[in-house]
């Protein structure tokens, strides 16, 4: 047997291996989608308009503090906070941290809400960067603003958590738009099951929607192709995947854009980790670990309801930076909690969720990239024939399309937010089109993210937001992670 | 891997994609047809229904033809329920009954679709269909826990107090979440109090906790002695829940018992509950006990005490000033900080500048404890109070 034939055999074997990997990955995701469908069905058995009316009137609905960390959000912060204050909820307050903004964020807040500096004592629960001042609104008694030295999003959220007076906290991004009844829906699991420590909801792409004063008044699809691709991705990630994981209490991420937590649980684990890149993912894994270590009954829930809208990047560079950061956050958290992976002590999380994340979310990018490269090399060397290469590529594409269609089907049955047939056709087109270029590009960003992590890059990068009101707003989302 | 296997994989994938695509289209088309039918029927019935319910017309809309129209009318009526009262609610029930929807809901309790079953129970309860009581009782032990819960809620709406033991058994059997059980109890309102008192006295530990929470929310003053007794229970969580419930009753007769609980040196969360309850009662007799808690180690307890004292307004302030020499800086700062948040520090500084010695003592002590934002503001001005504030700040910095 010559060296070249061994090489050829290896190439062929690897090609088959990648094909099998794609098959297993698709089957796993389909299984999760099926679990999601069951979960969505169960959810709708409980969640009705009447149930929300009951929750609104019920004295059992606990107060919630909405925690926000803002860094250089002068253009949008007033509208965002106004929308949060006007949410449909029996008793809520907003705790906003101005995380050392260098623009006019604090000044605009002071002017818009008649803020007055006060000597309010803050709970010393979680250590943060120094607090420069606490402000209360003379118009809205349920608004508190903490002005502090810059320390990053996690640090800002921790300061808001310290200022929170409610048993539940809702952590949101400063530019998130929450559905008017979103908070009520997200709090239901806490009322129904006192063991619930965290709950997240579906995040939707706000690009293309008509937004007025911090409220989505008309749902629409984005005009930008890049945002359309992300719309399809968000269907898959939230509705199809997270809902399924929640069904077996294996949910590993409650998005930083919108997540409700039991305050005592967050304080107990030390709050958001300021040195983490993916702080939302990291916090959830830490909550799992703490509860499992202490053998407590607990739940991390996902509410399959469209709760929060967020603007996604419309420029490739920003999107690349975001995906790069997500991948670094994933690797960072998996590395921190490597002792949980495959450890039966951690139940579903240790034996299913984390291994799944390692096998498909982390390694997936490498295997996919290597798979494409191997097939091309094998084809050029004549190790595999053209029909095999075509079938390989077709299976890769079809598996991607299938997962997207399954998520779209679930969305269509459960929510039908995009009612027009033209919207459906566009979504279907993007379900297919994303597999030709976009998917491969995202895979490359993920691979680059891993190497960036190895180089010790912990920066957040920069997002130039277009702004909900279509005004070009230059909001740097540096949020000073670079200094961490 | 042979060629036929590859082909099989390809065709399986392609087939699955086609099935998903087909399903999307089927769902879309069927929903579009349903929506069109709903819109068509609603355009006919909605105005007449509204006119009848608000009393503009005396003739109800003509009965629905067929199952589909019955469903649409039923959803319309149920959606109207939260916003109608009195005669209008009676008229809604009248339309419901005339349209044969009571029988439909009865049948739906046994429907195959669980959502239909739950909706039927909810509807019968919301419309207060008296005849439905035996049907709902019959379904209390259904294998679907959510239907049990819906039936329990409906029976509560119907005021079937005598069925409470049965309801509790059914919910317990189904391991219903505690929050849901309390919601059912609350739906019974004051009618359920005797049963809850019994449960508080003789139920299991979890039942007693639930009963304490429910009794607090129902806020019937008759239960004050029973809840007060529970404060001595060795279970800390039960004692805390009972304390909060006593606060919700709003009767200052509970003050001595709550002060007793505060002095019992129970775990901090029990004392926080007692302190918060005292704050809710707004009884000045509790002020000295609350002042003592300003020095508590736990932030939450200090905070609850400071908040309760702030609610007492001048009585709280007086109590703090009287005991000021015995309170730590931390306690004074916490109280003064909350006084500031409540917007009262300004007037206290003004009174101090006008010669009120008690206020002056408080302002100086608060300043020493680090609460001086109002003084800083006043000191920047040139009024009399500004001179006073500057003087206090200068004295403090010299000290």
> B373 and A118 in contact by Cβ < 8 A?
yes
With an 8 Å Cβ cutoff, is A399 touching chain B? Answer: yes
> B13 and A421 in contact by Cβ < 8 A?
no
Which candidate, A382, A381, A406, A378, places its Cα nearest to that of A392? A378
With an 8 Å Cβ cutoff, is B342 touching chain A? Answer: no
With an 8 Å Cβ cutoff, is B368 touching chain A? Answer: no
With an 8 Å Cβ cutoff, is A132 touching chain B? Answer: no
Give me the residues of B, 225-254, that contact A with CB < 8 A: none
With an 8 Å Cβ cutoff, is B370 touching chain A? Answer: yes
Averaged pLDDT for residues B323-344: 92
Residue B163 host element (H or E): none
CB neighbourhood size of A417 (10 A): 16
Whole-number Å distance between alpha carbons of A97 and A280: 17
**In chain A, which residues have pLDDT < 50?**
463, 465-466, 469-484
Evaluate whether B290 touches B278 at the Cβ level (below 8 Å).
Answer: yes
Q: Model-level pTM?
A: 0.84
How much is the pLDDT for A272? 95
**Among candidates B20, B115, B340 on the partner chain, residue whose Cβ is nearest the Cβ of A409:** B20
> B300 and A136 in contact by Cβ < 8 A?
no
CB neighbourhood size of A416 (10 A): 13
Å between B358 CA and nearest CA of chain A: 21
A408 CB neighbours in chain B (<8 A) are 24
Into how many domains does chain A fold? 1
Q: Residue A106: inside a domain, yes or no?
A: no
Å between A457 CA and nearest CA of chain B: 38
How much is the pLDDT for A311? 87
**Among candidates A124, A194, A402 on the partner chain, residue whose Cβ is nearest the Cβ of B17:** A402
With an 8 Å Cβ cutoff, is A436 touching chain B? Answer: no
> What residue ranges do the domains of chain B occupy?
314-399
Q: Going by C-beta distance under 8 Å and a sequence separation of 6 or more, which residues neighbour residue B31?
A: A416
Q: Residue A79: inside a domain, yes or no?
A: no
With an 8 Å Cβ cutoff, is B308 touching chain A? Answer: no
| Residue B102 dihedral angles phi and psi, to the nearest 5° | -65, -45
**Among candidates A118, A193, A412 on the partner chain, residue whose Cβ is nearest the Cβ of B27:** A412
Which candidate, A330, A175, A332, places its Cα nearest to that of A258? A175
Mutation to test the B interface, candidates A45, A117, A388, A411, most B Cβ within 10 Å: A45
3-state SS string for chain A: CCHHHHHHHHHHHHHHHHHHHHHHHHHHHHHHHHHHHHHHHHHHHHCCHHHHHHHHHCCCCCCEEEEEEECCCCCCHHHHHHHHHCCCCCCEEEEEEEECCCCCHHHHHHHHHCEEEECCCCCCCCCCCCEEEEEEECCCCCEEEEEECCCCHHHHHHHHHHHCCCCEEEEEECCCEECCCHHHHHHHHHHHCCCEEEEEEEEEECCCCEEECCEEEECCCCCCHHHHHHHHHHHHHHHHHHHHHHHCCCCCCCCCCEEEEEHHHHHHCCCCCCCCCCHHHHHHHHHHHHHHHCCCCCEEEEEEEEEEEECCCCCHHHHHHHHHHHHHHHHHHHHHCHHHCCCHHHHHHHHHHHHHHHHHHHHHHHHHHHHHHHHHHHHHHCCCCHHHHHHHHHHHHHHHHHHHHHHHHHHHHHCCCCCCHHHHHHHHHHHHHCCCCHHHHHHHHHHHHHHHHHCCCCCCCCCCCCCCCCCCCCCCCCCCHHHC
Whole-number Å distance between alpha carbons of A413 and A415: 6
Which candidate, A255, A240, A244, A249, places its Cα nearest to that of A307? A255
With an 8 Å Cβ cutoff, is A31 touching chain B? Answer: no
- In DSSP terms, which residues pair with A135 in a beta bridge? A117, A145
- Per-residue pLDDT band for B95 (boundaries 50, 70, 90) equals confident
With an 8 Å Cβ cutoff, is B329 touching chain A? Answer: no
Averaged pLDDT for residues B102-112: 88
Whole-number Å distance between alpha carbons of A265 and A199: 12
**Among candidates A46, A394, A408 on the partner chain, residue whose Cβ is nearest the Cβ of B146:** A46
Mutation to test the A interface, candidates B2, B4, B9, B175, most A Cβ within 10 Å: B9
How much is the pLDDT for A447? 93
Tens of pLDDT, residues B114-156: 778 888 898 888 888 888 899 999 999 898 888 898 899 999 9
**Among candidates B1, B114, B337 on the partner chain, residue whose Cβ is nearest the Cβ of A16:** B1
Interface predicted TM-score (ipTM): 0.77
How much is the pLDDT for A382? 83
A119 CB neighbours in chain B (<8 A) are 333, 336-337, 340-341, 345, 370-374
With an 8 Å Cβ cutoff, is B203 touching chain A? Answer: no
How much is the pLDDT for A484? 29
Q: Residue A130: inside a domain, yes or no?
A: no
Q: Residue A444: inside a domain, yes or no?
A: yes
Q: Residue A401: inside a domain, yes or no?
A: yes
At B334, list the tokens: 């916490």
> B1 and A193 in contact by Cβ < 8 A?
no
Q: Residue A334: inside a domain, yes or no?
A: yes
Å between A446 CA and nearest CA of chain B: 26
Check pLDDT > 80 for residue B29. yes
How much is the pLDDT for A386? 84
How much is the pLDDT for A117? 94
**Among candidates A19, A59, A123 on the partner chain, residue whose Cβ is nearest the Cβ of B299:** A123
Beta-carbon contacts below 8 Å between A and B: 116
B82 CB neighbours in chain A (<8 A) are 50, 53
How much is the pLDDT for B2? 64
Q: How many CA atoms lie within 13 A of A339 on its CB side?
A: 6
The residue with greater pLDDT, B222 or A258, is A258
Domain that holds residue A376: 1-62+167-471
With an 8 Å Cβ cutoff, is B119 touching chain A? Answer: yes
How much is the pLDDT for B286? 92
């Amino acid at each position: 047997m010559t060296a070249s034939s061994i090489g050829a055999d290896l190439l062929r074997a690897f090609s088959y291996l990648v094909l099998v990997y794609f098959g297993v990955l698709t089957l796993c995701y389909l299984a999760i989608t099926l679990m999601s469908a069951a979960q969505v069905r169960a959810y709708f058995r409980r969640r009705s308009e009447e149930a929300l009316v009951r929750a609104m009137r019920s004295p059992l609905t606990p107060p919630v503090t909405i925690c926000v960390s803002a860094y250089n959000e002068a253009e949008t912060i007033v509208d965002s906070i106004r929308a949060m204050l006007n949410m449909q909820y029996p008793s809520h307050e907003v705790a906003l941290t101005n995380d050392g903004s260098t623009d006019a964020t604090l000044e605009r807040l002071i002017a818009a809400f008649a803020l007055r500096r006060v000597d309010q004592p803050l709970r010393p629960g979680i250590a943060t960067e120094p607090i420069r001042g606490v402000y209360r609104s003379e118009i809205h008694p349920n608004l508190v603003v903490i002005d502090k030295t810059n320390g990053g999003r996690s640090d800002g959220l921790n300061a808001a958590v310290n200022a929170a007076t409610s048993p539940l906290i809702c952590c949101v991004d400063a530019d998130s738009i929450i559905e008017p009844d979103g908070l009520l829906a997200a709090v239901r699991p806490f009322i129904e099951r006192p063991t619930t420590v965290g709950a997240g909801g579906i995040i939707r792409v706000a690009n293309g929607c008509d937004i007025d004063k911090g409220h989505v008044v008309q749902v629409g699809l984005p005009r930008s192709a890049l945002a359309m691709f992300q719309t399809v991705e968000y269907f898959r990630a939230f509705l199809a995947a997270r809902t399924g994981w929640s069904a077996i209490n294996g949910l590993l991420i409650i998005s930083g854009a919108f997540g409700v937590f039991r305050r005592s649980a967050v304080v107990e684990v030390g709050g958001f980790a300021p040195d983490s890149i993916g702080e939302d993912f990291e916090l959830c894994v830490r909550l799992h670990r703490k509860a499992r270590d202490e053998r407590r009954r607990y739940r991390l829930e996902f509410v399959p309801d469209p709760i929060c809208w967020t603007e996604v990047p419309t420029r490739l560079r920003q999107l690349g930076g975001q995906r790069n950061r997500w991948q670094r956050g994933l690797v960072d958290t998996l590395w921190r909690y490597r002792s949980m992976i495959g450890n039966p002590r951690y139940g579903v999380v240790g034996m299913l969720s984390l291994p799944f994340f390692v096998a498909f979310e982390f390694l997936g990018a490498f295997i996919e990239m290597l798979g494409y490269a191997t097939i091309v090399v094998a084809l050029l060397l004549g190790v595999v024939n053209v029909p095999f290469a075509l079938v390989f590529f077709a299976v890769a594409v079809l598996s991607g399309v299938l997962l997207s269609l399954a998520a779209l089907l679930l969305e269509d049955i459960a929510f039908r937010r995009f009612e027009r047939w033209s919207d459906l056709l566009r979504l279907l087109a993007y379900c297919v089109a994303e597999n030709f270029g976009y998917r491969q590009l995202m895979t490359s960003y993920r691979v680059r993210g891993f190497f960036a992590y190895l180089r010790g890059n912990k920066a957040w990068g920069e997002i130039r937001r277009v702004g909900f009101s279509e005004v070009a707003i230059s909001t740097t989302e540096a949020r000073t992670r670079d200094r961490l | 891997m042979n060629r036929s296997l590859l082909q099989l994989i390809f065709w399986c994938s392609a087939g699955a994609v086609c099935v998903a695509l087909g399903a999307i289209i089927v769902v879309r088309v069927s929903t579009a047809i349903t929506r069109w039918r709903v819109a068509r029927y609603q355009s006919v019935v909605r105005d007449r229904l509204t006119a009848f319910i608000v009393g503009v017309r005396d003739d109800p809309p003509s009965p629905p033809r067929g199952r589909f129209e019955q469903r649409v009318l039923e959803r319309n009526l149920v959606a109207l329920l939260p916003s109608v009262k009195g005669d209008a609610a009676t008229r809604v029930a009248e339309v419901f009954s005339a349209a044969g929807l009571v029988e439909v809901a009865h049948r739906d309790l046994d429907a195959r679709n669980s959502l239909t079953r739950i909706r039927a129970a909810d509807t019968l309860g919301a419309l207060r269909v008296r005849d439905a009581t035996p049907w709902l009782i019959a379904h209390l032990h259904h294998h679907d826990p959510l239907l049990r819960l819906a039936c329990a809620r409906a029976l509560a709406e119907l005021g079937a107090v005598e069925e409470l033991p049965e309801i509790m058994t059914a919910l317990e059997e189904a391991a219903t979440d505690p929050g849901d059980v309390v919601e059912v109890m609350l739906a019974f309102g004051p009618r359920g109090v005797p049963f809850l008192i019994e449960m508080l006295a003789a139920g299991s530990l979890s039942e007693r906790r639930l009963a304490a929470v429910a009794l607090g929310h129902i806020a019937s003053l008759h239960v004050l002695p029973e809840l007060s007794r529970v404060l001595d229970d060795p279970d800390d969580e039960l004692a805390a829940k009972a304390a909060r419930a006593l606060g919700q009753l709003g009767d200052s007769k509970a003050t001595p018992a709550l002060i007793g609980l505060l002095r019992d040196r129970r775990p901090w969360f029990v004392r926080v509950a007692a302190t918060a309850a005292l704050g809710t009662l707004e009884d000045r007799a509790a002020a000295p006990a609350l002042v003592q808690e300003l020095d508590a180690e736990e932030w939450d307890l200090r905070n609850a005490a400071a908040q309760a004292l702030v609610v007492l307004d001048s009585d709280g302030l007086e109590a703090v000033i009287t005991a000021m020499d015995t309170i730590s800086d931390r306690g004074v700062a916490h109280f003064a900080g909350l006084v500031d948040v409540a917007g009262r520090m300004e007037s206290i500084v003004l009174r101090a500048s006008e010669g009120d010695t008690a206020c002056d003592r408080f302002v100086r002590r608060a300043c020493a404890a680090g609460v001086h934002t109002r003084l800083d503001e006043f000191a920047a001005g040139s009024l009399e109070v500004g001179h006073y504030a500057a003087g206090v700040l200068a004295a403090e910095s010299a000290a």
